[in-house]
Amino acid sequence: MIDIKFLRENPDVVKENIKKKFQDNKLCLVDEVIELDIKNREAKLNGDNLRSERKNLSSKIGMLMKDGKKDEAEKIKAEVSKINEKLEENEKLETQYSEAIKERMMKIPNIMHPSVPIGEDDSKNVEIQKFGEPKVPDYEIPFHGEILEGLGGLDLDSARRVAGQGFYYLMGDVARLHSAVLTYARDFMINKGFTYCIPPYMIRSDVVTGVMSFEEMDAMMYKIEGEDLYLIGTSEHSMIGKFKDQILKKENMPYTMTSYSPCFRKEKGAHGLEERRSL
């Protein structure tokens, strides 16, 4: 999430970045955040002034009671009571403004690196480096799903009955190959000096909002009904959350970690096996 101080001081830069991402519908969010930020800071200042006034009056109450001036002390107590009521209302405003700001800030995209090519889709991707020439065989390349089915290692029909479209069973040696590839990848990274980690498969909402926008969260993640928990869409979500609210010591950096987990996503559309077979 962009630092609100940066947005406050560079609204035009933030808006230009939004345009570069072709998300013009979010331009209004910048002005809304600036307006809410002004109101929020005014509310915070008002709260500080009220607390300062309450402190001064409270100190007077003790002196008046000590001097036997009970009636005067009671009048000041009434003033303090009114200040407390104002403070309570002001704190509600602060919370309201802060939540409204956060909701909008989570939707505003981060600043792109200058090297990123501008384009609405991958057709504008820029080739940075190329190795060799692609080899195209003179025969039709079989689809990987057909190869796996031919080996008796893929059961789509049973998976469709059990879980619906887009799921599969891996069977026999193909299932063993799947595990072997994961083991190879794990050991490869460990041998490169990475610490292997199997993370939690569920995370709380405050971790979710720290790794993605509300829009992305709603489009991707499954929520556990009745709980403040979400199924992770990738192990990255848990791994980022591992360092939440931590102060990392410079001498311990870099933290080199690698992880594996199932990925629970609500993604839909024709991809993977669905490209070649209606499930």
SS3 per residue for 35-84: HHHHHHHHHHHHHHHHHHHHHHHHHHHHHHHHCCCHHHHHHHHHHHHHHH
pLDDT at 55: 86
pLDDT at 120: 86
**Mean pLDDT over all residues of the chain?**
88
Q: Is the pLDDT of residue 269 over 50?
A: no
- Report the phi/psi class of residue 49: left, alpha or beta, with left for phi > 0 and alpha for psi in -120 to 50: alpha
Mean pLDDT over residues 253-274, rounded?
A: 76
Q: Please tell me the pTM assigned to this model.
A: 0.66
Q: Is the pLDDT of residue 270 over 90?
A: no
pLDDT at 272: 47
pLDDT at 214: 64
Q: Is the pLDDT of residue 278 over 90?
A: no
Mean pLDDT over residues 188-198, rounded?
A: 96
pLDDT band at 57 (very low <50, low <70, confident <90, very high): confident
Give percent above pLDDT 70 in the chain: 94
Domains and CATH numbers, the chain: 4-105 (1.10.287.40), 135-185 (no CATH), 194-279 (3.30.930.10)
If DSSP codes are grouped into helix, strand and coil, which group holds residue 125? coil
pLDDT at 229: 92
Higher pLDDT, 217 or 233: 233
176 CA to centre of own chain: 34
Q: Is the pLDDT of residue 7 over 90?
A: yes
Least confident of 23-37, 57-71, 91-105: 57-71
As a whole number of angstroms, the distance between CA 109 and CA 24 comes to: 11
Query: Quick one: which of 2, 85, 3, 97 has its CA closest to 43?
Result: 97
pLDDT band at 34 (very low <50, low <70, confident <90, very high): very high
Say how many C-beta atoms besides its own lie within 10 A of residue 69's C-beta.
15
Encoded tokens for 50: 């009220």
Q: Is the pLDDT of residue 180 over 80?
A: yes
Q: Which H/E stretch holds residue 17?
A: helix 11-20
Q: Which H/E stretch holds residue 203?
A: strand 202-203
Give percent above pLDDT 90 in the chain: 56
